[in-house]
Amino acid sequence: MPVSSLRVWMDEWKASRTLKTVPTRVLMAWRKSAYGCGGWYDPTDSPASLLRGMADTMVDIESIKSELATREHIPNKPEGKALRRAAARKSR
């Protein structure tokens, strides 16, 4: 993702402060980090984060999971491999 579009996305996220605007893969990474942080994750915790200095950015696992439940499934590596193989066989 180019830095300019990342900044635009971060500005939108700051404005809405809702998980609906966060990309699914980012939410999945936040969920993984929240498990390691005792059930909460702060997106501003990284020194390189563009969200640094924002107040009230703590996100709990339950809200991340509830938002992920509304999203479409992202295949893991074995599932993606099987889907690509099936598409290749179909196109022959």
Tens of pLDDT, residue by residue over 47-74, are 545 444 455 567 788 888 888 899 888 8
pLDDT for the residue 15: 43
In the chain, where are the structural domains located?
A: 3-91
Please name which of 46, 15, 43, 16 lies closest in space to residue 31, comparing C-alpha atoms: 43
pLDDT for the residue 90: 92
pLDDT for the residue 44: 65
- How much of the chain exceeds pLDDT 90, in percent? 16
Task: Return mean pLDDT, the chain.
Answer: 76
Amino acid 35 reads Y
Q: Which long-range contacts (CB under 8 A, 24 or more apart) does 60-64 make?
A: 60/34, 61/31, 61/34, 61/35, 63/19, 64/19, 64/27, 64/30, 64/31, 64/34
